[in-house]
Structure 1
Amino acid sequence: MANVTLKANLPSETESSLRFPTYPVAGQAGTSFKPEHLAAISALSGSQGFFEIHAENYMGAGGPPHRALERVRRDHPISLHGVCMSLGGPQPLDKDHLKRFKSLIDRYEPALVSEHLAWSTHVDTYLNDLLPLPYTPATLAHVCDHIDEMQNAIGRPILLENPSTYVLFAESSISETDFIREISKRTGCGLLLDINNVFVSASNHGFSALEYLSDFPLAKVGEIHLAGHAEQEDDEGELLLIDSHDGPVADAVWQLYEIVINSCGPIPTLIEWDSNIPDWPVLRAEALAAQAILDRHVSDRETSHALG
């Protein structure tokens, strides 16, 4: 696999070349953008953090979705999160999908761009799911090739998100953390650490979430996701957690988040809430809880430096 030289990221470009203002995301918490919240967001003054959009919801040329997004983007940074690139899939990346993805980057100049370590397509069928893959040398090379292709096509590095998993593959010969570490090393991509995914997978497979995080390449993390999960039972009546994004962040996930922030610093953090969507104040309160942790870390570090 050849090394690639990526186009400079947007912050290095001149302000005059940008369609929208440049806003910082460092140390900020944000939320998923839902059009039904637009009026409430617009009624508030000042920063509301950053907003994440799913790329596939905005691949049409225009209409109300784009008008709503343009209003939000004028005053806030956004993160662009892909869910259908199928980086782990066996077939070549969909070049038309890549073009549409790049057009969104050019149009909205997102501060952060991310995709999943998963597969979601088969031939010409797009599955409404993020499916796991075996961690083998062959799969590793295949995923890296796809990430190289995507990054070259869009002209910037992406952040790769760790999955939530419900099954394991007998043929896997590489740990998930080593697999992700090697992907970042080979491709130069950053990482999106979804802490709820870590907690869900750890509970489902019986490993320690803390040990997973201690082995995760945290220095490569450019964004964090937090979300709610649901409790179900598997066929044997055992507890099964589902990464449902349909409720508040669990206390155990908040505890893991504080540990990560204390270790890594104030990484931009996104609250995902994609079904059973509450009123804006409820969703905003989740983001403010994350913001309080980020701000407390900054304050504690400044106090430590002052005392030192």
Structure 2
Amino acid sequence: MHRWTLALLTAGLLATTATGCVGGAAADPGAADVGSRRAEGAPRETLQLAEQLLIKECMEKQGHKFWVEPPQPDNVSTRFPYVVDDPAWARAHGYGTDLRLAEDAEARRDPNQRYFRSMPAKTRSVLVSALNGAQPEGLSVRLPNGMQVTHSDQGCQATAQRQLYSDLQAWFRATRVTRSLGDMRIGLVSNDKRYQAALKPWARCMREQGYTYAGPALARAAATQSQTPWPRAKEVRLASAEARCATSSGLSSVAKSLDAEYRDELRRRYPRESADLARLKREALPRARAIVARRD
């Protein structure tokens, strides 16, 4: 979700449904140099950059300014959905509070954010409508959990995705459903009796190091959701203990095995969306490379 949209959602000025929008941004004057470096880069980066460049064209045609935002790094929940199991990462970042604070600081310096906040409320609404469409209508899908989500098929983001992926409704369905399957998979793993059983030796290991948390989620919450921020050294010690116990107790291996098992199961249950997503990305990649290359 783009930071402009987040700001307006907080203010209650933008009507949207469950999924809202996925953040796109546009290029700054140095984007050509970035583009030339990424044109032959990883497909994910190339697709993301191409979409942003298309959004830039669209927004500028409407008289708005727009700058490229770097891809947001994975947070600790994305990187370690079940348990922190990388001791080196834990020693460096604890539960990632340092990375979150750095990201927050970067967001405050972000030119899109500064531009957006410099505008009066009415203009902010115009900017978000130009990006996302005025109303969340035109695209719709029912997720595996039964939730109906919608999004506008107008606005610069939809325009860019239509140019890049051709079939906008198929792209919307594939991305929203596969994202929902990822959340579903994490829930299935976390509630699996094999995962629950593996928590017991992990908790014993943690008790031996002076911590009485029944599971990694409780440890993470204690360190990151406290009203009083933890000292960095305290956070790092807890995360490091969690990572050591994740490996020595076998919890990490169980979680990874179950994650792969449920990933395969959900793909079998919902083959269309996974196949469509792979196909749409594959077909869009030559277009994306051409879009990025012509900015050189």
Q: Give the TM-score normalised by the residue count of structure 2.
A: 0.24
The answer to which structure has the higher helix fraction is 2
The answer to which structure has the higher strand fraction is 1
